[in-house]
Amino acid sequence: MVIFDNLPLYLEAFLQTLALLLLTIVLALPLGAVIAAMRISPIGSLRATATVYTEILRNTPLVLVFIFCFVVLPILGVILPFMFSAVLALTLYTAPFFAEAIRSGINGVPVGQAEAARSIGMTFGQTVTLVVLPQAIRSVIPPIINVMIALTKNTSIAGGFFIFELFNSGRRLVNENGDQVILVLVGVAAFYLLITIPLGQLADFLERRVVIRR
Amino acid sequence: MDAPGTPLVVLDHVNKHYGDLHVLNDINLTIAKGEVVVVIGPSGSGKSTLCRAINRLETIDDGTISIDGQPLPSEGAALAKLRANVGMVFQSFNLFAHKTILQNVTLGPIAVSKKSKAEADGRAMELLERVGVANQAKKMPAQLSGGQQQRVAIARALAMQPSVMLFDEPTSALDPEMINEVLDVMVGLAKEGMTMIVVTHEMGFARRAADRVVFMADGRIVEDTTPAEFFDHPKSERAKDFLSKILTH
């Protein structure tokens, strides 16, 4: 059967998808947290910068962001390795989604909590890290994992830009095995599910573990 | 240490608008060290805004507010430092929901004043003892009654050793049978010489503990006098009208 015959190829592509996913999370999650902090900061210019960035990237098709990183940047003289460009595109695009997920969780923490923190002399940074974020975590976990699931699927765009990940492997295998297209694609889907289903389970588990009573 | 009677909180021609609403209208108010001032008035009179403006949880449009001779900084580390010196107790308690009672009281001393955990714990237990909730130290805020939570909130503010305490309607969210346990703590504080600005409708507290009553209406200070004078011989029609409404029942 085509899936088992090509297991090494699938596996190689799966690892590439996993690499795209993990590298992007490692970069986009902190960037998203910074953007979220900027959006609630008392400094107007930081708020404005973060808002403009969020609105532009969040409302642009991911393919356009890829074209920007793979076509426009080289024209401007910035030539990067393909993998680097792909992670850059995914990070730029995903960070605002993480930021919005974090911000919605922060907005769910009553404003009195931050006022109380500031009234005992905490700085903005202490208020956010010691009082607001720890309470926002619970409501932030499910939307963050949703963003990760969407990101897992979005890594497939990189397949159209020279990266040999799952979607790209499917394309190659379809070309080589024209008579078993459905099986090839079932194989591709199965590898994506191998990532996304455990992510969903993790969300449920963490949500039950971290409960804050009011 | 300044002697009692030195001006501690000074509001000078303070104005604030919410859109068309002139919520603080040319407020001039001086509170001396050791003074207990009760701010009273109908809802929407600006009394809560006044209280919150003193530690800059509300910004003002113009005028100056100074504490201990220092004008309020606009943002940043200087403002944080000043706020540590101004205790605040909120209507809705606002205890940190993810921290135990003890941690609620020690968080400020540890994170802001850089005290050791042992020192902060010791001092916090003394304060919790004093407000009568030491036996609840390991619980979470949601496990306590409103009255207990508010007493913890007072302990949390005192842990920063503030030179003035602001109370923004501290008993308004409490069930009637819990009001006195909070007021008793506040009266105790007043007797010890703490400078206090208290927004409240509790006439009993005003008579028992206040040096002055400030009556506000429509964003202005209408009367500023002793409790006895205010309650027994209000001068303005506005104050007479207000007192008749709250005292007839």
Of B94, B140, B168, which to mutate for an interface test with A (greatest number of A Cβ within 10 Å)?
A: B94
Closest residue to A120, CB basis, from B84, B140, B142: B84
B131 is a domain residue? yes
Residue B83 with chain A: CB contacts under 8 Å: 118-121
The one-letter amino acid code at A18 reads: L
With beta carbons less than 8 A apart as the criterion, state whether A3 and A183 touch: yes
**Beta-carbon pairs below 8 A across chains A and B:** 79
User: Which of chain A's residues have a Cβ under 8 Å away from the Cβ of B75?
Assistant: 42-43
Residue B82: how many CA atoms within 13 Å on its side-chain side? 22
- Number of domains, chain B: 1
With an 8 Å Cβ cutoff, is A34 touching chain B? no
- Residue B88 sits at φ, ψ, to 5 deg, of -135, 135
Residue position matching structure tokens 């409103």: B146
Q: Per the domain annotation, does B184 fall within a domain?
A: yes
Please give the full DSSP string across chain A, using - where no structure is assigned: -HHHHTHHHHHHHHHHHHHHHHHHHHHHHHHHHHHHHHHHSS-HHHHHHHHHHHHHHHTS-HHHHHHIIIIIHHHTT----HHHHHHHHHHHHHHHHHHHHHHHHHHTS-HHHHHHHHHTT--HHHIIIIIIHHHHHHHHHHHHHHHHHHHHHHGGGGGGTT--SHHHHHHHHHHH-GGGHHHHHHHHHHHHHHHHHHHHHHHHHHHHH-----
Burial of B162 (0-12, 13-18, 19+ CB in 10 A): buried
Which sign, positive or negative, has the C-alpha torsion B177, B181, B182, B188?
Answer: positive
Domain ranges of chain A: 2-213
Instruction: For residues B172 and B183, give the distance between their C-alpha atoms in angstroms, rounded to a whole number.
Output: 11
Least CB–CB distance from B142: residue in A121, A134, A214: A214
Residue B126 covered by a domain: yes
Note whether A119 contacts B81, CB cutoff 8 Å. no
CATH architecture of A2-213: Orthogonal Bundle (1.10)
Residue environment code for B80-107, b if the CB has 16+ CB neighbours within 10 A, otherwise e: bebbbbbbbbbbbbbbbbbbbbbbbbbb
For residue B175, being part of any structural domain is answered with: yes
Mutation target to probe the A interface, by most A beta carbons within 10 A, among B96, B106, B161 is B96
Chain A nearest-CA distance from B149, in A, is 12
Q: Does A212 touch chain B (CB under 8 A)?
A: yes
Taking the C-alpha atoms of residue B73 and residue A45, their distance in angstroms, rounded to an integer, is: 19
Give pLDDT tens digits along chain B (249 positions). Answer: 455 678 899 999 999 999 888 999 999 999 999 999 999 998 888 999 999 999 899 989 999 999 988 888 887 788 888 899 999 999 999 999 999 999 999 999 999 999 999 999 999 999 999 999 999 999 999 999 999 999 999 999 999 999 999 999 999 998 888 999 999 999 999 999 999 999 998 888 999 899 999 999 999 999 999 999 999 999 999 999 998 887 665
Q: Looking at residue B90, which CATH number applies to its domain?
A: 3.40.50.300
Question: Looking at CA atoms only, how far is residue A126 from chain B in angstroms?
Answer: 8
Neighbours of A27 (CB within 10 A): 17
Most B CBs within 10 A among A120, A139, A209, hence the mutation to make, goes to A120
In a domain, B2, yes or no: no
- Residue A157 near chain B (CB below 8 Å): no
Domain-embedded: residue B1: no
**Do B190 and B206 contact (CB within 8 A), yes or no?**
no
From A126, which residue of chain B is nearest by alpha-carbon distance? Answer: B111
Question: Which residues of chain A neighbour B74 with C-beta distances below 8 Å?
Answer: none
Q: Do A112 and B140 touch (CB under 8 A)?
A: no
pLDDT at site B1: 45
Please provide the distance, in angstroms rounded to a whole number, between the alpha carbons at the two ends of chain A.
56
**Four-CA torsion B74, B80, B82, B88, nearest 10 degrees:** 110
- B57 and A214 in contact by Cβ < 8 A? no
Instruction: Say whether A126 and B81 touch across the interface (CB within 8 A).
Output: no
Q: pLDDT in tens for each of the 214 residues of chain A? A: 777 777 888 888 888 889 899 999 999 999 998 999 888 887 889 999 999 999 999 899 999 999 998 889 888 988 888 888 899 999 999 999 999 999 888 888 999 999 999 999 999 889 988 999 888 877 788 889 989 999 998 988 888 888 788 888 888 888 888 788 888 888 888 888 988 899 888 888 877 776 555 5
ipTM: 0.90
Which whole-number Å values give the CA distances from A13 to A45, A154, A195, B71, in the listed order? Answer: 43, 15, 13, 63
Q: Do B97 and A135 touch (CB under 8 A)?
A: yes
